[in-house]
Amino acid sequence: MRQFYLFLIGIIFSAATWAQGTGSIVGVLSDKEVNNEPLPFATVQIKNTSKGTTTDFDGLYEISNVEAGTYTLVFSFVGYETVEVPNVVVEADKVTTINAGLGATAAALDEVVITTTVSRESEVALLLEQKKAVSIQQSIGADELARKGVSDAAAAIAKISGVSKQSGGAGNVYVRGLGDRYLNTTYNGLTLPSNDIEKKNMDLDLFPSDIIQNVAVSKAYSTKFYGDFAASNIDVISKDYKGKFFLDIQLGSSINTRAIGQDFTRSEGTGYFGFYNRYDNNPFAVILSHPVDPVDGGTPINVNGSISGGKSFEMGEGGRLSLFATASFANDYEYRRGSAADFTTVEKQVYDDVEEFEYSTTTTAMLNAIYSLNSGHKITFNSLFLNSSSDEVGNFGIDGNGRNRDAILNTDSGFFTKNIQFNQDMIFVNQLSGLHTFDEEFELTWGVGYNKVFSNQPDRKRFALENYNLALDNDPSTNPSFYNNTNFDNQRYFQNIEDEELNSRLNLEYTVSDNFKLNFGYNGRTKERFFKNIRYGYDLIAPNTPVEDINNLDSIFNVPNLGTVYDTFVFRAIAPELGIDNRNYPGLDENRYTGNLDIHAGYINAEITTGNWLFVPGFRVESFNQSITYDVINLPPDASGYAESYENFYLPSLNVRYALNDDSNLRFSFAKTVSFPEFKEVAPFVYEDVTKRVGGNPDLLNDPSFSDVYNIDLKYEWFFGKSELLSIAGFAKEIRNPVNLVIANDATGTRRYFRTGEKANVYGVELEVRKNLVTDADENAVVSAGINGTYMHTQQDLRSSNGLFSSTLDRDDELQGASPFLINADINYSPTSFENYKPVANLIYSYFADRIDALGSGQLGNIVEKGYGTLDFVWRNEFGDNWEINASAKNLLDPDIEYVREGTSFGDYTTSIYRRGINVGLNVKYKF
Amino acid sequence: MKTNYLLTGLTAAALLFASCEADDTAEIVINNTDNSVDNSVTNNGGTNEPEEPTGEAIDLQGTMTSDLVLDSNNTYTLTGPLVMAPNTKLTIPAGMTIRAASGANVYIAISQDAVIDAQGTSTNPIVLTSAASSPAAGDWGGLILLGRAPINSTTGGSATSTSEIGGLPYGGSDVSDFSGVIRYVRVEYSGGAADGQSENNGFSFYGVGNGTTVDHIQAFEGKDDGIEFFGGTVNASYLSVVNAQDDSVDWTEGYSGTLTNVYIKQGVSHDKAIEADGFNTDIGNNSNPVYFSAPTLNNVLIVGQGNTEGTEAVRLRAGTQGEFNNVIIQGYEEGFDLDGDSGDSPTGQGVLDGLLFVDTVNFDDVTLKMKNDTGYEFDESDFIMNEGDATGTDYDTWKAGWTVE
């Protein structure tokens, strides 16, 4: 194919040059770092002449009007080795074709600052970018993602030092021990919405690597980031494509060792592709029309597939339109068997034997269109759609030995809970951005993004039974019965969240001189959230209504039985004065809230180079306005239903780089930033889970309504060889008036958010090494290894607070989510001795030490997530130009995932333990 | 897909996927054929003469920041939460019936530093009941008193906790705190759920001090507990709980008052007659020095539904202490079930230390008098001092005129 193209180009160029009486040189330059993809914007020079050019998007170049003769051609590209091709003969009226491949070297970096067009999929290029960067950041590109068998963005950033990801459903990402609320996620530099009420950041699991060009984790602040920054800004850069037409299709399948062979069930009414089509209906109509029992969930074999394609078109004079589109679907069956307990100082609810079936899907589609007017102007449109769903059926107490201390018939055994829930998150992101350069002095970049999120939990069903042990005996005359202490012990629940956000960025870079550059910028975002939920309780009319078959609850909760066997209850009746009360009628929403966030910020920073020093002082002014309007059940009647805060933040920062020599830098960074509350932390709505209750606290918007954060980083980095690195970093942070989730003083033990004390401190060191252990003749790595580790000390003072809600705390403790010790390591084997076969094998290990999952208050100890290590093996095989067959085995150690309540009078009490199983999969990819 | 998406990019694909799934949901139509609402039957007691109100019909709800005196000439309907703010007084005259509209968020709360003056008489009791045409347990909230007496869910001093219903503050250090006077008051059909796990009781006493007077109160047909004490020191006498669907009398959070003359009759749906916790196990025992609930009960008659499997009269948990004098228990599989552990819930240690015991009890149709799940070893005789001489309480002599059954 490539040869054909060149031939064609050759003819065109030949036609163009015939008239001249001179000859020309054409060719294609390929990037050895990126599978020999075309290398754009490289310089091609005829040695000792002024003739030269740069390669275009497709790596193609042409030097025309060359006098006949013999020349030496010089190919160079920043950060790459310079290649000289001697004895190039140019004849009159002929076209000489010279193709070359450039590879990276970590030396030779005396060129200008790396421009944005560097291929940021390549590890080497990213390392170079890191070396050149004006602030402390780390990136992981598509190449490394693929090599390490990383399938999504969350797993991607978890390979970066100081970063750790929680396994399983929660999936929280921690950067230097600071969790979700201290991170920001952006997509092409514009804010990315969260898909989950419980989170501020998008679940990066949802980003398949097909979409990602690279993920940059900035652990030091820079003025262009929003001021709400404490641990890091994670920027996901979407893939674009500038070369010739391509199309590839990938299909794969995997199995999980624990899921295979299980009889999966999932909610009735949800689809294989993770969609649900009853949102239009009143929930009461849904519960009357649709059964409660789960349905067959299919055979637990995971499948995934994706299709990607791209093409560039020339458009008029110097213009070019580049399109890239990708769509993918993946599903996953997970089976978890273990135990779960709610233990405070006593066993409140204990299930020794729990099984959970989870069927999840991710569907993505992305379109990226770039229109370049010429080398100085570029407009990009990006549209992203994500749908993620999780269909979970949990059976708690299947051994008949579940215990609930508030059970009525038997507190010592037989308690059973069945939870059937489906979550669907749909995210739409549309972005338009541009880059314009004027006179080489000014560069204007801008972007506008519109985000929309629908995060729904439709028709969650929960049932509680007593004497479940009677379902396990062989006596059909004895049966379990419903636990019916309140009207809502058996219930169906509906929750809808809708987020809408408009945000923008604008930056003008003014290059005053080689040593002095100024940036002026603006960021703005306006976000609104609508939240509502409603719940219907099933109140069984006869005491201890028996359950003959747990798998056939439809025989009880059907329409003919309404009002005779059971009543439905709702919290807010439509019109009790007209007799339309809360029994057996539809109701009004149980809880609603609306959150609004408006941020406008302006900033300025300078990049000043003197000798080996680079100084980047910056200053940002940000205005912040957040408000929440709520109408939720069971609050004091005089609660205002409204909270608002308006603040202006003045945020200075300084980044300094000192180049010790060509290969090593010393960096320092200081910044003042802030942290402000999220909607879910402020809205006093209480979410009731099987074993816990979590609610917000509007007091967080009272004085002080935010936390001041002070950040200091110091880093030494040494790029000692091609794709080799050693770095050591130290960091310190202080967070004033931090917010924590703790158990409130209330009669039901609800967890709420409080400003828990004066300050929290984080100190730590990070060490990272990447080294080639065996190289081939061309200095390509055959065996390479990388390891990074983080050691942290965290401390915060925890004090009681009083307000709308109150909490009892009086101690110093570690930060929630902070593992004192993290490690990520990998070893890579990629022999280069085969002609048409390129195998790459990787073994990847991660470990974190015990960390606090939830702070205890009063007499209660912390809930701690026990540390564990994971090991993945990934084996990629490229056959020729078209085929790729990849095998993987993930979670090889299959560790216990365990949570304990610490400091009980019996020592540590395990509140949850399970294993996720080993995933073994095979993928086939064909490139057309 | 109901909402308007911004119709760009990939929206069409999303719609296509969604429409693949089944809907088939029926419409609901409410045909409200009003069967001429019948308010004439408000309780089963027959003690209510048909009233002839000459005054106005007034809806009650909201937070009162000044005193509220109800006029016996008016007819009052409780339509939402009625909260007496600090330094206010609610006066309810004898013989008044307040009807509550349906809803869990319909209750009367007396905040810390507010007082209630609700003094009925044996012939003219005050009745707080459901306004529904066919009233049922759980129709509305109930009566809530909040005071400044000690609770062991906080570290003490001025620290407060917030109530299960309405999120109002309670607790403190004033043992003799005064929340008013309640006499001859009956609460019916209360116990509506305030959220998925919280239910109103008939009477809830949150950190109420012993300066408060409580006697002759009845909780009738409640969905949750009849009378519950969250800490506090208040003493109460002549308590009647009939057909509470959860526990009839419940205490927790370090309650230490005295209950004298208690009558409990359980209906078909019920949990325990008495369920007692030493502290609130949701949030822990945060008192310093640590103490547990330790009330005294004198003259108690507990009538169950008969000795069937799983029925239990008194459940003592989470380190509670207490003294039971002159108790009759009729018709349960188990009399006293003691529950705890050797850690933070040392119920058994209380028995060994003589802080939890029964002095004089009669068991009538009870299989197991005492069950020890405390993790401590002791004999029945360590817990039950005397048996056979109890007289309970002579309910007939004090129920007349103001109670229903």
> A2-102 maps to which CATH number?
2.60.40.1120
Tokens of B202: 């008939």
Maximum Cα–Cα distance across chain A = 104
The string of pLDDT tens digits covering residues A50-63 is 788 877 767 777 88
Per-residue H/E/C for A291-308: CCCCEECCCCCEEEEEEE
Mean pLDDT of A722-729: 84
Q: Residue B14: helix, strand or coil by DSSP? A: helix
The string of pLDDT tens digits covering residues B175-232 is 999 999 999 999 999 988 877 777 788 999 999 999 999 999 999 999 889 999 999 9
The answer to whether residue B338 neighbours chain A at the CB level (below 8 Å) is no
pTM of the model: 0.85
- The residues in B 99-158 lying below 8 A from A, measured between CB atoms, are 101-105, 132-133, 138, 153-155
B44 within some domain: no
Looking at residue A350, its pLDDT comes to 93
Number of domains making up chain B = 1
Spatial CA neighbour of B244 closest among B142, B97, B124, B121: B142
- Find the domain containing B123 and state its range: 57-399
DSSP class per residue in A307-376: EEEEEEEEETTTEEEEEEEEEEEEEEEEEEEEEEEEESSSEEEEEEEEEEEEEEEEEEEEEEEEEEEETT
B363/A30: higher pLDDT:
B363
Residue B275 has pLDDT above 80, yes or no: yes
Q: Which residue of A has its CA nearest to B342?
A: A905
B360 within some domain: yes
Q: Tokens 């091709």 — which residue?
A: A85
Residue B6 has pLDDT above 50, yes or no: no
Could you tell me the CA-to-CA distances from B151 to A576, B172, B231, B320 in Å, in that order? Answer: 37, 7, 4, 13
Cβ–Cβ below 8 Å for B3 and A485: no
The string of pLDDT tens digits covering residues A783-804 is 989 898 889 999 999 988 888 8
Maximum Cα–Cα distance across chain B = 84
Using CA atoms, how far apart are residues A890 and A874, in angstroms rounded to an integer?
8
Q: Tokens 């004198």 — which residue?
A: B298
A414: left (phi over 0), alpha (psi -120 to 50) or beta: left
B12 within some domain: no
The percent of residues in chain B predicted with pLDDT above 90, rounded, is 68
Spatial CA neighbour of A695 closest among A773, A633, A771: A633
Give the nearest partner residue to A579 out of B14, B37, B159, using CB atoms.
B37
Mean pLDDT of B382-403: 93
The percent of residues in chain A predicted with pLDDT above 70, rounded, is 89
Q: HSE-up of A290 (CA within 13 Å, CB side)?
A: 25
Distance from CA of A366 to the nearest CA of B (A): 8
Distance from CA of B168 to the nearest CA of A (A): 6
The answer to whether residue B196 neighbours chain A at the CB level (below 8 Å) is yes
The answer to whether residue B285 neighbours chain A at the CB level (below 8 Å) is yes
DSSP state of A159: T
Average pLDDT, chain A: 85
Among A81-95, A149-163, B322-336, the least confident range: A149-163
Could you tell me the CA-to-CA distances from A594 to A623, A873, B308 in Å, in that order? Answer: 20, 46, 51
B45 within some domain: no
What is the phi/psi pair of residue A844, to 5°? -125, 130
Q: Which residues of B touch A290 (CB under 8 A)?
A: 24-25
Could you tell me the CA-to-CA distances from B24 to A95, A289, A290, A363 in Å, in that order? Answer: 69, 8, 9, 25
The answer to whether residue B284 neighbours chain A at the CB level (below 8 Å) is yes
The string of pLDDT tens digits covering residues A459-478 is 999 999 999 999 998 888 89
Q: Which residues of B touch A344 (CB under 8 A)?
A: 281-284
B311 within some domain: yes
A692/B304: higher pLDDT:
B304
**A917, A258 Cβ separation under 8 angstroms:** yes
Using CA atoms, how far apart are residues B19 and A528, in angstroms rounded to an integer?
27
B163 within some domain: yes
CATH 2.40.170.20-classified regions of chain A: 246-927
Q: Which residue of A has its CA nearest to B206?
A: A747
Tokens of A613: 């020093």
Mean pLDDT of A117-142: 59
Looking at residue A137, its pLDDT comes to 64
Using CA atoms, how far apart are residues B236 and B215, in angstroms rounded to an integer?
5
How far out from the chain centre does Cα A428 lie? Answer: 15
Residue A849 has pLDDT above 70, yes or no: yes
Query: What topology is assigned to A246-927 in CATH?
Result: Maltoporin; Chain A (2.40.170)
The string of pLDDT tens digits covering residues A32-54 is 766 667 787 788 888 877 788 87
B37 within some domain: no
The string of pLDDT tens digits covering residues B28-43 is 776 655 444 443 333 3
Looking at residue A273, its pLDDT comes to 92
Mean pLDDT of B227-247: 95
Mean pLDDT of A13-22: 44
Q: Which residue of B has its CA nearest to A462?
A: B196
The string of pLDDT tens digits covering residues A371-398 is 988 778 889 999 999 999 999 999 999 9
B158 band by pLDDT with thresholds 50, 70 and 90: confident
What is the phi/psi pair of residue B121, to 5°? -135, 170
Looking at residue A4, its pLDDT comes to 40
A918 band by pLDDT with thresholds 50, 70 and 90: very high
Looking at residue B13, its pLDDT comes to 55
Residue B50 has pLDDT above 90, yes or no: no
Residue A607 has pLDDT above 70, yes or no: yes
Mutate to test the interface with A, among B20, B25, B153, B268 (most CBs of A within 10 A): B25
The answer to whether residue A877 neighbours chain B at the CB level (below 8 Å) is no
Q: Which residues of A touch B1 (CB under 8 A)?
A: 277, 279-280
Element (H, E) at A743: strand A739-743
Using CA atoms, how far apart are residues A858 and A841, in angstroms rounded to an integer?
51
Using CA atoms, how far apart are residues A224 and A604, in angstroms rounded to an integer?
9
Tokens of A309: 């394609």
B243 within some domain: yes
Residue A170 has pLDDT above 90, yes or no: no
Mutate to test the interface with A, among B108, B110, B146, B197 (most CBs of A within 10 A): B197
